[in-house]
């Protein structure tokens, strides 16, 4: 469920008309609903708690939407943060998420990043390889601290989804095998600079079936039991990212309740603190990208190009993953649907959001909303073609705030420095 709906013929985000917002802030613009963010977080938390998982740590995957206002909205409800860079640690802290709710993941953390994470006292560093474990041990000893680490396992399951975002097969770069994890965990328990506190896995993103997760989680449970059988203490089990979301034309993913019950089933009775790293299921349907139609370019051979003022630099997912986003007119017109290729102004054919999409009739000046764009939307935006970084707005009830303003062209140019010889 989300809070974007037609009211009196106009698409609204909560109580704010997107047409009014676009007139005041300009387009393209990302718009997020506080109510949807809050609802998705609480529905997940309540489902996990009702399934019997006590005090789970829900560490929002900052990569999905790093906007400080979004992080603050979730942090106030008790969310932690799953981070993959020093920048993300800094964002989580700046948004008021305490270090003890921050989990640091990622295959290639630099020495500098590990040092920073230990200095601020993050709850856990998920180590993904033996060299990384040694590096964390060395840095921690130098700082005179004991780093709490979890060993990230690659459970070697096929999770479906797009090849660029599936992570849980042995051939992917993430994590270590189960055998390796047992060895590393035992080694880590003898190191002066680290304290192994748990194990972690993440099998991929936009997963719309429970079966691959259940298979992976069953194997994780076995690992916890084997480690404990060897007399090692395992306090935390991090089950990685969340479920996929319906991008309109896809099968409806399982509900948070079904997900929570599957975990309870797979883990039945395992006494451990559970951690989760959901991004998409919390943020995707909480955001839209609003763009304006610049031209309707009707080709004599029958193709209609809808040229928007938003481009692949603002929303990369269609170009990068052939991702489908529902496109809705902000003020739908009456009339028979027409078929459009929806494109942006960037100078490459990849700047195509969709081809042959039947949509209500549209004209130059109309506004459209790309739905389900709150995760990996603004997060992956760039200034490609020297287009200004797309602004972000957070709505709450009838109020809105521009939480990342559109920069000026001077801002863009002033970031650079002349080379002394030029």
Stretch that binds ligand LLP, among 72-80, 276-284, 307-315, 324-332 (CB under 6 A): 276-284
Distance in Å, CB of 200 to ligand LLP, minimum: 8
What is the nearest approach in angstroms of ligand LLP to the Cβ of residue 321? Answer: 6
Could you give the CA distance from residue 92 to residue 367 in angstroms, rounded to a whole number? 33
Stretch that binds ligand LLP, among 198-206, 300-308, 361-369, 383-391 (CB under 6 A): 198-206
Query: Alpha-carbon torsion 171, 176, 182, 187, what sign?
Result: positive
**Considering beta carbons, is residue 13 or 281 the nearer one to ligand LLP?**
281
In angstroms, what CA-CA distances link 276 with 56, 173, 243, 357? 8, 20, 11, 36
Interaction between residue 321 and ligand LLP (CB under 6 A): yes
> Which range binds ligand LLP by CB under 6 A, 39-47, 274-282, 285-293, 354-362?
274-282
Q: Which of 40, 45, 109, 317 binds ligand LLP (CB under 6 A)?
A: 317
Smallest separation (angstroms) from ligand LLP to the CB of 360: 27
Hey, what are 354's tokens? Answer: 């969709």
Catalytic residue among 192, 336, 347, 413: 347
Does 259 bind ligand LLP (CB under 6 A)? Our answer is: no
**Residue with smaller CB distance to ligand LLP, 319 or 362:** 319
Q: Of 317 and 387, which CB lies nearer to ligand LLP in the complex structure?
A: 317
- Within 327-366, the residues that bind ligand LLP by CB under 6 A are none
For 230, 281, 332, the CA distances from 11, given in Å and listed in that order, are 58, 22, 9
Contact between 161 and ligand LLP (CB under 6 A)?
no
CA distance 161 to 187: 35
Residues 6 or more apart in contact with residue 415 via CB below 8 angstroms: none
Distance CA 49, CA 75 (A): 18
Residue 335, burial from CB neighbour count under 10 angstroms (0-12, 13-18, 19+):
exposed
Regarding 262 and contact with ligand LLP (CB under 6 A), the answer is no
- Does residue 57 sit in helix, strand or coil? strand
Strand order in the sheet with 4-7: 4-7, 10-13, 16-17
202 binds ligand LLP per the rule CB under 6 A: yes
Task: Name the CA radius of gyration of the chain, rounded.
Answer: 23
Report the C-alpha dihedral over residues 222, 224, 225, 229, rounded to 10 degrees. 140
Task: Name the residue with the smallest CB distance to ligand LLP.
Answer: 241
3-class secondary structure, 128: coil
Shortest reach from residue 201's CB to ligand LLP, in Å: 9
DSSP 8-class letter at 414: H
The span of 68-76, 278-286, 300-308, 351-359 binding ligand LLP (CB under 6 A) equals: 278-286
Q: Is 347 a catalytic residue?
A: yes
Say how many CA atoms lie within 13 Å of 122 toward its Cβ.
30
Contact pick of 28, 175, 279, 287 for ligand LLP (by CB under 6 A)? 279
Helix (H, G, I), strand (E, B) or coil at 380: helix
Say how far apart CA 161 and CA 250 lie, in whole Å: 11
* One character per residue 6-45, x = contact with ligand LLP (rule: CB under 6 A): ----------------------------------------
- The site that binds ligand LLP (CB under 6 A) totals a number of residues, namely 21
Residue with tokens 């963010």: 37
Site string for ligand LLP, 227-246 (x = CB under 6 A): -------------xxx----
Kindly list the catalytic residues: 347
Interacting residue ranges for ligand LLP, rule: CB under 6 A:
61, 64, 82, 105, 165, 167, 202, 205-206, 240-242, 277-281, 317, 321, 375-376
């Amino acid at each position: 469920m989300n809070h974007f709906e037609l009211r009196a013929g106009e698409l609204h985000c909560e109580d704010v008309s997107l047409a009014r917002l676009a007139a005041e802030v300009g387009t393209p613009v990302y718009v997020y609903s506080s109510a949807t963010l809050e609802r998705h977080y609480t529905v997940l938390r309540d489902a996990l708690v009702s399934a019997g998982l006590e005090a789970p740590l829900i560490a929002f995957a900052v990569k999905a939407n790093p906007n400080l206002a979004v992080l603050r909205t979730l942090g106030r409800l008790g969310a932690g943060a799953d981070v993959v860079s020093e920048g993300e640690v800094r964002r989580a802290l700046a948004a008021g998420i305490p270090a003890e709710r921050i989990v640091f993941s990622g295959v290639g953390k630099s020495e500098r990043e590990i040092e920073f994470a230990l200095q601020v006292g993050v709850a856990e560093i998920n180590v993904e390889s033996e060299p990384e474990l040694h590096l964390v041990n060395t840095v921690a000893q130098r700082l005179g601290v004991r780093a709490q680490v979890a060993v990230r396992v690659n459970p070697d399951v096929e999770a479906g989804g797009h090849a660029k975002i599936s992570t849980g097969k042995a051939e992917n770069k993430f994590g270590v095998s189960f055998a390796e994890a047992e060895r590393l965990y035992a080694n880590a328990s003898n190191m002066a600079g680290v304290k192994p506190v748990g194990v972690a896995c993440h099998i991929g993103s936009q997963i719309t079936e429970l079966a691959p997760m259940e298979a992976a989680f069953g194997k994780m449970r076995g690992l916890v039991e084997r480690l404990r059988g060897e007399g090692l203490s395992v306090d935390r089990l991090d089950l990685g990212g969340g479920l996929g979301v319906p991008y309109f034309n896809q099968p409806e993913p399982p509900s948070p309740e079904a997900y929570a019950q599957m975990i309870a089933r797979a883990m039945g009775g395992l006494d451990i603190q559970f951690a989760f790293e959901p991004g998409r299921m919390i943020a995707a349907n909480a955001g839209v990208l609003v763009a304006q139609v610049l031209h309707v370019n009707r080709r004599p051979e029958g193709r209609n190009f809808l040229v928007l003022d938003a481009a692949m630099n603002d929303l990369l997912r269609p170009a990068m993953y052939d991702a489908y986003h529902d496109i809705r007119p902000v003020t739908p017109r009456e009339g028979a649907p027409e078929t459009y290729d929806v494109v942006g102004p960037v100078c490459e054919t990849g700047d195509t959001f969709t081809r042959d999409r039947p949509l209500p009739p549209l004209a130059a000046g109309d506004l459209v909303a790309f739905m389900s764009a709150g995760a990996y939307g603004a997060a992956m935006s760039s200034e490609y073609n020297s287009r200004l970084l797309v602004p972000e707005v957070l709505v709450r009830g009838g109020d809105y705030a521009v939480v990342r303003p559109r920069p000026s062209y001077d801002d863009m140019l002033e970031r650079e420095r002349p080379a002394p010889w030029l």
